[in-house]
Amino acid sequence: MTCGWESDNSDVIDVWFMGGEAQVFVVSIHRPDTVDASVTLTATLSYGTETRIVTFVVLVRAEHTQTDPTTAELLAEDLQALTLDAMVELSTVELPTSGLNGSTITWELQTTDSADLVDNTLTLHYIGSTDIIVLLATLPTLFDDRNPPQSSGPRRLSQGDGLLFL
């Protein structure tokens, strides 16, 4: 019986015959720098008049791959990007319901006589010329089809987020 090996990408997986009755092959793997590589290894097996060819597809991971952001990182980015315009001098404000990365945003309102919150609609009640400060908290949740829903926990939005209502 004889066996031969070939690689379709010797820059990544190099196979060479060392020799001898034992049919020794040497394999060198050179990991790509930044992009994974797919390499097909082909074994040719012969015995008498019979020959079989078998292929194997091997994925060689890169040394330095850029990983996808985690769910927690995506939620943090959604919270960071969540600001409301200072034009909230209106009596009714529609609050955002989704984040930059597709998170679902729910809102909570600290109990007050100055405002009502129904779903994502904030209604302000003006009492003369008195300033109204409304405290809101948001809870973004990101749904991923591979993982259960994850949340960053509530965040109280502050005046810097455009939430000082006059």
For 126-142, the pLDDT digits (tens) are 655 556 666 666 666 76
Identify which of 78, 62, 82, 81 has the alpha carbon closest to the alpha carbon of residue 70: 78
Average pLDDT of the residues in 65-84: 75
CB 51 within 8 A of CB 82: no
Q: Which two tokens stand for residue 147?
A: 């993982």
Bridge partner list, 59: 38
Nearest to 1 by CA among 43, 30, 56: 43
What SS3 class is residue 96?
coil
pLDDT digits (tens, 9 = 90+) for 143-157: 554 444 455 554 444
Question: What pLDDT is recorded for position 6?
Answer: 93
Note whether 114 and 142 are within 8 A (CB).
no
Residue 50 has a pLDDT of: 95
Q: E-assigned strands of 48-99?
A: 50-60, 92-94
Instruction: Sheet with 121-124: list strands edge to edge.
Output: 92-94, 121-124, 115-118
Q: Tell me which residue of 4, 5, 14 sits closest to 60, measured CA to CA.
A: 14
Contact 36, 61 (CB under 8 A): yes
Burial class (CB in 10 A: 0-12, 13-18, 19+), 60: middle
> Is 102 a residue whose pLDDT tops 70?
yes
pLDDT for 140 = 64
Name the percent of the chain lying above pLDDT 90. 23
Q: What is the pTM of this model?
A: 0.44
